[in-house]
A = this chain, B = another copy of it.
Amino acid sequence: MRRIGILTSGGDAPGMNAAIRAAIRTALKNDMEIYGIYDGYKGLVDGDIHPLDYRDASEILTRGGTVLGSSRLPEFEQDVMQDLAVNQLKRWGIEGLIVIGGDGSYRGAQALNRKGIKTVGIPGTIDNDINGTQRTIGFSTALNTICEAVNKLRDTSYSHHRCFIVEVMGHHCGQLALWSAITCGAEVLINQEIGYSEERVMAQLAIHDHFRNKRHALIITAENMIDIQALAKKVSEETNFSGRAISLGHIQRGGSPTPEDRMLGSKMGKEAVEVLMRGEGAKCICLIQDRIVVRDIDEALADTTRDDEELYDLFNDLV
């Protein structure tokens, strides 16, 4: 393969630039040409395609977001759009494509693969919700941002005998909530896996209120689960804590990537180029037990095993 392309799609995530940088430099080191496709599948269809050189990879490793831009294009499910994309790639002589994004982006990659373009996916999303890999690029940074924000809430919470209900991102996946509950020392966790029951939450809170005489408490909830304002009101009415709700919002998507995300992005970007160099396609790069593994996209997306039992036990033991 002589010429490959790279795009980022869906929600951006810190560390995507590390993957882009690694792909550029690995391709150039191996005498391949690499083209940047801007604003995701939209730019692919529109032909917003530009050659990348060594310097395009400079000064981007430490920056959040994606220098290639991103977008959501639901219409890319349509055959006609995919054909436009294939035509663009052929026009530019691009034989292989690296797609950094979530599972929606992976489905686009599969469609292109079926139409003769070798594709390889890199899991880039803060939500850590992609089947087949234990970790996605951006998760570490988002977790770090949550921890820093909760640290700030802690000061004011302690001063006012408050219970903060903090809503974190995760789309329909409870990973960010679970990890942040453990690493921020939350008293209560609400997410998709353990569900929500008002009685449980109020009972858990009561332990910290009455028996442990705590000056503040922290409830972490995944988004798309509950009405956090209503719960805050309930807490104020039924406990000695003053309830306050905050949704951390889009700050969780930004920030300079942590070393972990820079490392993960670098490894995956390099590996993706090597997959294309070997002429393979319909693959995705995964992290399993701290090792980079190349899997078939179909197989990875079908792999719904996720063993978080140990983490739930840990949360329960340390609360």
In the complex, A105 has a CB within 8 A of chain B: no
User: Does A12 contact B214, Cβ atoms closer than 8 Å?
Assistant: no
User: Does B259 contact A158, Cβ atoms closer than 8 Å?
Assistant: no
Query: Which chain B residues lie closer than 8 Å to A266 at the CB level?
Result: 182-183, 314, 318
Query: Which chain B residues lie closer than 8 Å to A159 at the CB level?
Result: 8, 12, 65-66, 69-70
- Complex: how many Å from CA A109 to CA B289? 30
Query: Which chain B residues lie closer than 8 Å to A247 at the CB level?
Result: 247, 249
User: Does A250 contact B244, Cβ atoms closer than 8 Å?
Assistant: yes
Query: Which chain B residues lie closer than 8 Å to A70 at the CB level?
Result: 159-160
Nearest B-chain residue to A66, judged by Cβ: B159
In the complex, A113 has a CB within 8 A of chain B: no
Binds B, one of A55-63, A74-82, A198-206: A55-63
Which of B140, B248, B259, B267 interacts with A147 by CB under 8 Å?
B259
- Complex: how many Å from CA A63 to CA B152? 10
Residues from 1 to 42 in A contacting B, C-beta threshold 8 Å: 8, 11-12, 14, 21-22, 25-26, 29, 39
In the complex, A118 has a CB within 8 A of chain B: no
A163 to chain B, nearest CB (A): 12
User: Does B65 contact A156, Cβ atoms closer than 8 Å?
Assistant: yes
What are some 23 contacts across the A-B interface (CB < 8 A)?
A11-B156, A12-B160, A14-B155, A22-B318, A25-B318, A26-B318, A54-B212, A55-B212, A61-B184, A62-B184, A63-B155, A69-B159, A69-B161, A71-B161, A153-B254, A155-B255, A182-B266, A183-B259, A246-B250, A247-B249, A267-B314, A289-B289, A289-B291
Interface set of A (CB-CB < 8 Å, partner B): 8, 11-12, 14, 21-22, 25-26, 29, 39, 54-55, 58, 61-66, 69-71, 134, 140, 143-147, 149, 151-161, 164, 179-180, 182-185, 212, 214-215, 244, 246-251, 253-256, 258-260, 262-263, 266-267, 270, 289-291, 314, 317-319
